[in-house]
Amino acid sequence: MNALFYGLWPVCRKEFTHVVRDPGTLFFALLIPLIQLFLFGFAVDTNIRQIPTVIFDESHSQPSRQLLESFAASDTFRMALTVQSNTDMYAAMRAGKARVAIKIPYDYARQLQSGATATVLVLIDGSDSSVAGQAVNASTGVALEQSLTRILGHAQMPIEVRPSVLYNPATRSANFFVPGLIAVLLQVMIILLIALSLVRERERGTLEQLTMTPVAPLGLMVGKMIPYGVLGFGELCLILTIMRIVFQVPIHGNVFALLGMSLPFLLTVLGVGLFISTKARTQAEAFQLSMGTVLPSVFLSGYIFLIDTMPPFFRAVSRMIPATYYIQILRGVILRGAGFTDLWLNALVLTLMGCTTVLLAARQFVNQRGR
C-alpha cells in the first residue's frame, strides 16, 4: 500500500504551497463561482408571470370587460397596450411589443346572451416555448372559469381539487435551480483548476523533473488531488451558506449527510480533471476539454430538463454524467429532506466513478512516462 502511494505527501505539500502562493488561482477558485452563483441565482426565474399582452376588443361590452379582468387577475398576462385593428395587433406581435394578443369579436356579448358559443381569439408568440405553454394553459383556465361561472352561477362546484405542492410550496425558482447550480459550479471550478495545474507544469518542464523522482503514479495523482479537493470542499461550504442566507433556500435534510455524500462527487470531478490533464498538451487544450464537460452536465443531468422525457440514447448518456447523481443528492437532501438511506446508491455510483477516473488517469500517466 505504501508503495502504491509513495511520494503522496511531498507532492501534496508542494501543491498546497503552489495554491497558497498563487492569488490568481485562489481568486478563480473562490470568487468566480460565487459571482456566477449570484448572477444565475437571481436572474433565472421559471415562474412565468406578467406576459405583455395586446388587447383588441371589438365588443366594448360589460362581458368583454369582465373577461379581460379575468385575464389580468390571473397574473400571467399584463395588458401592455390596446389596439383598434387587426393590422396593429399583428404588428405589435411581430415587433415583440407583446407575446400574447387577445381579440374579442364584436358579437361576443350577443353570442353569450343567446346561449351560443362565443369565440375569443388568443394569439401566442411561439418563439419561446415556455412562455407559449404557460400562456396556453392560463388562457384555457380563464375560459374554463368564465364558462363555469356562467353555467353554474353561484351554485357549488360538484368537484373541487385542492392541490398541495410538497417540498417547495411557493414554487420558487431559486429552490429548484440553486441546488443544481452548486454541482455545475463545483465541477467547472475543480476540473479546470486541476487540469490546468498539471498541464502548466508540463509546459514549464517541472512535471518531467517530478517524474524522475521516485514518486508512485497514484501518489502523484492523489497528492495533486488533495489540495484542490480541500479547496472544493471549502467552496461547497461557502456556497451552501450563501444559498441559505442570501437565497433563503432551506436545507430540510442533514447537512453532514450532504457534505459526506459530496465527497464522492469531488473525487469524481478531480479524477476527470486529472484524466484531462494527461490528454492535454497545452493549457488552451486543457481549457477546451474542461469546458466540453459543461454543456452535457447542464442539459443532460436533469438540472434543467427532466431525464425521463429524454430519448433512450440520451437517458443512457445522462447515467454516465457525474452531475446527474450529485444533483439528485443535492435536491434530495436540501429540498426533500432525504437521508443517506434514500440516496446511498447515488453516492456509491459516484464513488465507483471517482475511483475509476483516478485509476485511468494514473494509468495514462504511467504510459506517458514509459514513452
- Answer whether residue 215 shows pLDDT above 70: no
Task: Compute the distance between CA of residue 275 and CA of residue 44 in angstroms, rounded to an integer.
Answer: 33
CB of 264 within 8 A of CB of 350?
Answer: yes
With a CB cutoff of 8 Å and minimum separation 6, the contacts of 323 are: 183, 184, 187, 297, 301, 303
Task: Spell out the alpha helix ranges (H) of 22-85.
Answer: 23-43, 62-73
pLDDT bin (cut points 50, 70, 90) of residue 113 is confident
pLDDT bin (cut points 50, 70, 90) of residue 134 is confident
pLDDT 10s digits, 262-278: 999 999 999 999 888 88
Judged by average pLDDT, the poorest of 287-291, 314-318, 326-330 is: 287-291
Write the single-letter amino acid at 24. Answer: G
* Percentage of the chain lying above the pLDDT 90 cut: 33
How much is the pTM?
Answer: 0.80
φ, ψ of residue 212 in degrees (nearest 5): -75, -15
pLDDT bin (cut points 50, 70, 90) of residue 256 is very high
Alpha-carbon distance values, 152 to 133, 144, 246, 353 (Å) = 28, 12, 47, 60
